[in-house]
Amino acid sequence: MSDEIDFDEILGKYHSDPYEYVDIYASHTGVIKFLVEEGSSIDAVSGEWKHIPGTALFEITRENNPKKVTALTNGVVSSICNELEGCFVEAGEKLLTIRHPLKKKEIIESILKEVLHIFPAPERAKYFFSLDVQSRIDKKGAREVSVKPGDEIIIMSLMKRDTPVYYSGEKGVIHSVYFKPGVSVDQGAPLIGICPTEKLPLIKKIITKVKADWDQQE
């Protein structure tokens, strides 16, 4: 993480293009049938338990087993690979892109993800802090809890199988927590953002600057 951050450059980037471009890929092999077109408005998954599906994006059929894939994020379809309509695709092939409008909070999080050390989820599962880390968070707050490589910080829970997750990365304090107990996290999605103690003032500066700048714009 660099000490020097060009605020004007970062903020300028978000002012000129306040969107996140979310690429959607084929989850497995199969034949594709698109259910949206370029410019279609997309609703995100919703509901108290995220149980109401978002807009159906495409149908992928393998071995006569069609599966509709729905959107997790809202926005507009900014590009779509129409040439793949009716074709057999491999797992991981890019199918379309959703342009998702960013809110102020998302912009801050987005910038922070660029400057913090992000510790990702090893598997799609539910996560909670280990008893020791949770008790320290309860007492002092996450940003007072420091972690170092090798620490057992999180428990991954999947099918009643609880597996300790050991931290690897820079030593620092837990600045951001991206998971909620009881809510599934996808493999590779961020779990926590770690900040070396000496860099905390810089992070605070970023947040203050973005908030002030964005409020001024609004």
- Which one, 41 or 168, has the nearer CB to other proteins? 168
50 near other proteins (CB under 8 A):
yes
- Least Å distance, CB 205 to other proteins, is 36
Tell me, letter by letter, the H, E, C secondary structure of 47-66: CCCCCECCCEEEEEEECCEE
Please report, as a single letter, which amino acid is at residue 48: E
**If we measure between CA atoms, which residue out of 137, 207, 147 comes closest to residue 173?**
147
Residues 173-212 touching other proteins, rule: CB under 8 A, are 181-182, 184
35 binds other proteins (CB under 8 A): no
Between CA 197 and CA 175 the distance in angstroms is: 10
The yes or no reply on residue 130 touching other proteins (CB under 8 A) is: no
The reply on whether position 114 binds other proteins by CB under 8 A is: no
The token pair that represents 131 in the structure block: 């008893």
CA separation for the pair 122, 116 (Å, rounded):
18
Distance CA 106, CA 83 (A): 33
Examine residue 166 and tell whether it contacts other proteins (CB under 8 A). Answer: yes
Among 96, 111, 125, 210, binds other proteins (CB under 8 A): 125
Single residue of 15, 113, 124, 140 touching other proteins by CB under 8 A: 124
Under the binding rule (CB under 8 A), the answer on residue 78 touching other proteins is: no
Distance CA 70, CA 44 (A): 8
Tokens representing 104 are: 């102020």
In the complex, the residues that contact other proteins under the rule CB under 8 A are: 28, 47-53, 62, 91, 123-126, 131, 156-164, 166, 181-182, 184
